[in-house]
Chain A
Amino acid sequence: MLRVEELHVEVEGKRVLQGINLAIRDGEVVYLLGPNGSGKSSLIQTIMGNPKYKVVSGSITFNGTDLLKLEPHERAQRGLGIVYQIPPKLKGVKLRELLRRLTHMYGTSMEEVEELAKKMDAYKLLDRDLHVGFSGGEMKRAEILLVYAQRPKFILLDEPDSGVDLAGLPVIGEAIRGLLEDGEERSALVVTHTGHIAKYLSGSLAYIMMEGKILCCGELQKVLSDIEEGGFEACMNCVMAELMCYDRAA
């Protein structure tokens, strides 16, 4: 269980999260929606431990462990993984080399990673510098391969369906499903604008964020159609309020 309570976070003196409460059970996939700049990526980066995001107050626990006391690499080693929306470019760092090191670190199989690379039509990326000159779809494929090598218990997916063309979406969707539904109990927090990725994954609960707060939650498709009709404000009429969402899980 990942539990976020009353989380307040600042970046360079600016408050980006203002009292977030969120609970995600083992094996559960939940979605996070909200307009640009509402704090979705900030929440994901804070859970992972990006030092740029200063926790002012509140707590984040993962299966009872206080994550705020752990360095980012310790969080990863405890089973947290992340798929970045826009990852940095690592010049001279070959994807294959990183995958090799990760499979070694996590005791996973390089053969299986290579197999997935072939399945995603991403094998040629292995010998390239990570994310240097990659297209949007290639970045996502590489990110999925990396997280697949880690096999995390909890995956933070930051817009896995953005920048991917229509033909690429099923490939990426299937790969994420394969990772989440491999017989182990894995959970995920998925940031999405369109909900396209949800077609491939289980879970139907969506949280809506605005201005650094979680306003409410509801059934994903209902929430999406409400947003389409009346914007983010409209969806608040038909969903549970924030604390009810939290109680549901907790």
Chain B
Amino acid sequence: MIELLEEVRERAKRALNKPSKYGPDVDISQFSPPPERPYTLDLIRANAHLLASVGIDVTEANRSGSYYQLDQEAVQISVKSKGLTVMSLKQALKEGIIDDYYWKAVPVDLDKYTAVAELMGNHQGYVFIVEKGVKVEKPVQSCLLMSTPGAIQAPHNIVVVEEGAELHVITGCTTMMEKAGLHAGVSEFYVKKGGKLTYTMIHAWDEETHVRPRTGVIVEEGGEYISHYINMTPTASLQTNPRVRLVGEGARAYLSSIVVSKENSLMDVGSTVYLEAPETSAEIVSKTITKDFAEVVTRGTIVAMAPDTKGHIECDGLMLSSTSRILTVPELDARHSDVTLSHEAAVGKLEEEQIFYLMSRGFTEEEATSILVRGFMDVKLEGLPEELKRQIEVAIAMAAAGL
């Protein structure tokens, strides 16, 4: 393991100046790891309301486990469900239980942000492992909170869903500072044969924070990966493009993202799915709303490499200001002839006839707009427990109300 870590560090060092393929480049030298200081749970308790807005339940009543990270320290870990392991990355590395997963779904030298996670991330992050055949009913939550101005938060997260197991993860990321920071989180998810993982991520950053999540997912035969991503606040810059590999026959993926971009936010949000085995299928749905001077690039890529595979991309953009910009880039890459790939993309503003229709029923123009915006953000919330669905609906309603 030590040799492996050394090799990984060497590769990371070489990538420290490697810009990302997409999104604005961030000068990482202006950020540094936060100074060591004692963190307590009080800070979390005091921010319960803020955390609730990103789906975190501090009472943990409807959770099977929790992981709280403040800046770069794991401050609270709990687990209530049998067959579920919740651990910090540091502990998991020490126990040697993630050697097969560490930097295996995301290359450590992908770009400078993965390098930062390895070299400056304090080897923290959450590790969730569900045993074979165990279906964990209640979601496990992870809360990533930033509190030190000018600091880096770079957690490295690993989720393993063993054969036939099932897990719902909700991650809420937010900040309680109003100064610049860099969040570069790495997430590696492994769904084994017949397993199912749903992953819900709610982001609420601020105008000063740069966000570069790096996610890699590997799904085996008959496995299922469902992800819902919601970003509802202005962010200095955000770039992410989770890469999902369906490597086993019949595996499937559904990825939805709802991105609300306001003020001067720059966002480049995409998803890439590789259909590597026969009969795999994927759907990518993105809903983007821009206002003020925000600029958003929405990417969706499906690469079909095996027979009898199916893929569909849907990119919808709604512009609430004429000074914003939306660029949609749906890509279908067929490397086999027995594939069914399609995409739809539509960008526009709200239709006046629809606004009048609602006003003629008694809604003010503002209410009518909010109803339509909320409707625009509607995505299928399949495969989620009721409680998570409600949480996502609340987040969407809050995002719509803020427009």
Q: Interface of A with B (CB < 8 Å)?
A: 48-52, 71-73, 75-77, 81-82, 84, 87-88, 90-93, 98, 101-102, 105-106, 129, 146, 150
The answer to whether B365 touches A92 (Cβ under 8 A) is no
Contact of B362 among A52, A92, A93, A102 (CB under 8 A): A102
- A115 CA to B376 CA, complexed, in Å: 29
Chain A residues with Cβ below 8 Å from B364 are 71, 73
Name which residue of chain A comes closest to B353, CB basis: A88
| Given known A-B contacts A92-B376, A93-B371, A93-B375, A87 and B362 have beta carbons under 8 A apart | no
Among A73, A90, A91, the most chain B Cβ lie within 10 Å of the Cβ of: A73
B21 within 8 A of A: no
Known A-B contacts A51-B352, A73-B364, A73-B365; the reply to A92 vs B359 at CB < 8 A is no
B357 in contact with A71 (CB, 8 Å): no
Interface centre among A51, A88, A102 (most CB of B within 10 A): A88
Selected contact of A72 from candidates B351, B359, B375, CB within 8 Å: B359
| Additional 6 contacts, C-beta under 8 A, given A71-B359, A88-B351 | A87-B357, A92-B375, A92-B376, A93-B372, A101-B371, A102-B362
A77 CA to B378 CA, complexed, in Å? 28
A86 to B: closest C-beta gap in Å: 10
Q: With the chains together, A201 CA to B217 CA distance in Å?
A: 63
Report how far A101 CA is from B363 CA in the complex, Å.
9
**Proximity bits, B324-356, A CB within 8 Å = 1, else 0:** 000000000000000000000000000111101
> Does B360 interact with chain A (Cβ within 8 Å)?
yes
| B233 vs chain A, min Cβ distance (A) | 21
> Chain A residues near B371 (CB, 8 Å)?
90, 93, 98, 101
Contact present for A90 and B359 (CB under 8 Å): no
CB proximity of B318 to chain A, nearest CB, Å: 11
Task: Say if the beta carbon of B374 comes within 8 Å of chain A.
Answer: yes
Contact with A along B373-403 (1 / 0, CB 8 A): 0111110000000000000000000000000
| B37 contacts the other chain (CB 8 A) | no
Q: Is the CB of B352 within 8 A of A90?
A: no
Contact A73 B354 (CB under 8 A): no
Q: Taking the nearest CB of chain B, how far is it from the CB of A151, in angstroms?
A: 11
Query: How far apart are A158's CB and chain B's nearest CB, in angstroms?
Result: 11
Q: Contact at B362–A76, with CB atoms within 8 Å? A: yes
Assess the B361–A102 pair: CB atoms within 8 A: yes
Q: How far, in Å, is A49 (CB) from chain B's closest CB?
A: 7
Quick one: given A51-B352, A52-B352, are A88 and B363 in contact (CB under 8 Å)?
no
Q: Is the CB of A90 within 8 A of B354?
A: yes
A150 touches B361 (CB 8 A): yes
A82 and B360: CB pair below 8 A?
yes
CA distance A92 to B374 in the complex (A): 7
Pairs across A and B, CB under 8 Å, 27 listed:
A48-B360, A49-B359, A50-B356, A51-B352, A51-B356, A71-B364, A73-B359, A73-B363, A73-B364, A73-B368, A76-B360, A76-B362, A88-B351, A88-B354, A88-B357, A91-B375, A92-B374, A92-B378, A93-B371, A93-B374, A93-B378, A98-B361, A105-B363, A129-B375, A129-B378, A146-B361, A150-B362
* Residue on A nearest B356 in the bound complex, by CB: A50
Task: For the complex, give the distance between the alpha carbons of A49 and B356 in Å.
Answer: 8
Contacts of A129 in B (CB 8 A): 375, 378
Give the nearest-CB partner of B377 in chain A: A92
Give the docked Cα–Cα distance between A82 and B360 (Å): 7
